[in-house]
Amino acid sequence: MSRRKRGPGADGAGFAATSRRLAGLFRHLRVSVAGSLALAVAGVLANLAGPLIWGRAIDAVLAGTGFDHVQNLLLTAAGLYVLGALAGFAQQYLQNSAIARVVQTLRDDVEEKLNRLPLRYLNGSPRGELLSRMTNDIDNIATSLTQTLTQVLFGLLTVVGVLVMMLGISPLLTLLALVTVPLTFVIGTVAAKRSQRLFDDQWRLTGELNAHIEESYSGHELVTVFDRAGAFRETFAHRNAEVREASRLAQFTSGLLAPLVLFIGNLGYVLLCVVGALRVVSGQLTLGGVVAFVQYSRQYSQPLGMLASMSSLFQSGIASAARVFALLDEPEEAPDRPGRLPAVRPRRIAFEQVSFGHGRELTIKGLDLVIEPGRTAAIVGASGAGKTTLMNLVMRFYDVGGGRILIDGEDIASVSREALRSEIGLVPQEPWLFSGTIRDNIVYGRPDATPEEIEQAARVCGVSHIVHALPHGYDTVVDSADERLSDGERQLICIARAFIADPAVLILDEATSAVDARTELLLQRATSRLREGRTCLVIAHRLSTIRDADVIVVLRDGRIVEQGTHAQLVRAGGEYHRLSRYQFHAPTAVPAPDQYSQR
């Protein structure tokens, strides 16, 4: 197996801290926890009385006591066993209900956390790994808690109760029964530390495997076209083998504990039988007392063996919990402020000495730009010039590192993200449709839209002819992988989604990159209507779509090198002129790489 960085909770301190944090999730369920504990105590006490009564019944038979007395003892024991079983059923119900609520809360916490994480973290984390933490790891926590809590609770209570009963029968035999405890504890501690590290590896590798699977299926077409399916299968086989090996080692190491505990318990059991028989012969104990003590000793060793067998499952759950808690502890976006934008339309956007970078490298450097109300600004530039970063700053997916962005004179850093984004409509570069009907996708940003408004948006954005060609019209169920729709048609639906939301600010992130010439014409008509009365920021890919922009801004290395109208920039003969020449005229020579201005 390849060595990788250990996950959270790999050491003993991490195990203890994660266990305490997981237990803390039950604090708000004190009534259920108290009821479950009370029922467990009642069930253990009922079961503990059985061996003592059996021992007295044996002594009664040997002493020649009447049958009625023995019968009463046997009926009492049977009744206690029934009560113990009923208490166990009720305890299981309360406990599993509490676990289900805790797991639901944990899922809710992870979902809310994902919505508060900065875009930088989400973009830098494999989607399969995040999904693994939210699904596989939380499911494993639920399984571990459901299967171990009852056994652990009953086991610990049984051990304590049995010790009390054994001391009441014979302190000497009790001391002999406890001789094996230190050895059991040492073996358990060593096995637990080793297996915990292995379980951490198992679930970390499972997350990496899921990320690889998600990536291979998301890019299935490219994998097929470039004939890389074999390489993906090899990588999958290698990572799957790593998961198998980690799982095998974890289960094997933790599985050694149960048979070792059972073996040590059996040695103690033989010793108790021999010494107990000698005590009976010497008259220091009755036969019924020894029989009861031997039964108690079995009840004492069984929970220890059960706890040992449950340790692997519990450690696996703690390893998953550590991964989920690590996600919950990730730094979040800066806290929101309660401010709102003034009720003005259209909006005026101003960038004042805006800087931003990842680490020490700045992608936006002292940028100054004003987009007047109702105007359209198109941003062009080479790959890495900062076009998409500028868009993300406006929507506060990132916060500026220096300077400020103003909308109608209000610093957007003082405005809540929800209030800011409610004013912005986005048409992304990659057309994304949610699973649902076309109607659902169009009204996604405004669920209360009327049928007339839906029809108008579809007509203006060139979607109506697409919808009417489908058998179920607006009720046709689609998703982003629907082969009945082309990329361009999916993009038009995304534009209709932005149109019906009626935003004050519109951002088009290379929205024409996925369309053909005919659909581009439909898009130009739609965006002309869409821009009316709105301030627009267009991330440009095809210059044919921005010729009528009020201002075209050329970025290079995070700085504005040119700005003006299409005609002004072409006459200037600068970088925009070179780009337009490459796009609108067939070049006689291949331009140098640094002359390209497309992302």
* Residue-range domains of the chain with CATH: 14-328 (1.20.1560.10), 373-386+425-586 (3.40.50.300)
Q: What is the predicted pLDDT for the residue at 596?
A: 42
Token pair for residue 366?
Answer: 């002292």
Mean pLDDT by 10 residues, the chain (599 residues): 45 74 88 88 81 72 70 80 87 88 90 84 78 86 85 80 81 78 68 72 80 70 64 82 83 72 73 77 76 74 65 80 91 82 86 87 90 92 83 90 92 90 87 87 90 89 86 86 79 88 88 63 74 86 81 91 91 86 58 44
Helix intervals (H) in 531-596: 566-572, 575-584
Closest C-alpha to 304, from 248, 266, 274, 271: 266
What gap in Å lies between CA 342 and CA 337, rounded to an integer?
15
Helix, strand, coil percent values for the chain (each to nearest 5): 65, 10, 25
**Quick one: DSSP state of residue 341?**
-
Q: What is the DSSP code string of 344-361?
A: -SS--EEEEEEEEEETTE
Give Cα separations from 253 to 83, 250, 315, 330, 575 (angstroms): 38, 5, 12, 32, 65
Q: What is the predicted pLDDT for the residue at 369?
A: 93
What gap in Å lies between CA 456 and CA 90, rounded to an integer?
59
Give Cα separations from 362 to 296, 349, 384 (angstroms): 72, 22, 11
Within 10 Å of residue 37's Cβ, how many Cβ atoms? 15
Q: What is the predicted pLDDT for the residue at 592?
A: 47
Check: CB of residue 378 under 8 Å from CB of residue 555.
no
Residue in the block written with tokens 């730009």: 369
Q: Which helix (H) or strand (E) element contains residue 411?
A: strand 410-411
pTM given for the model = 0.66
What gap in Å lies between CA 398 and CA 474, rounded to an integer?
36
Within 10 Å of residue 324's Cβ, how many Cβ atoms? 23
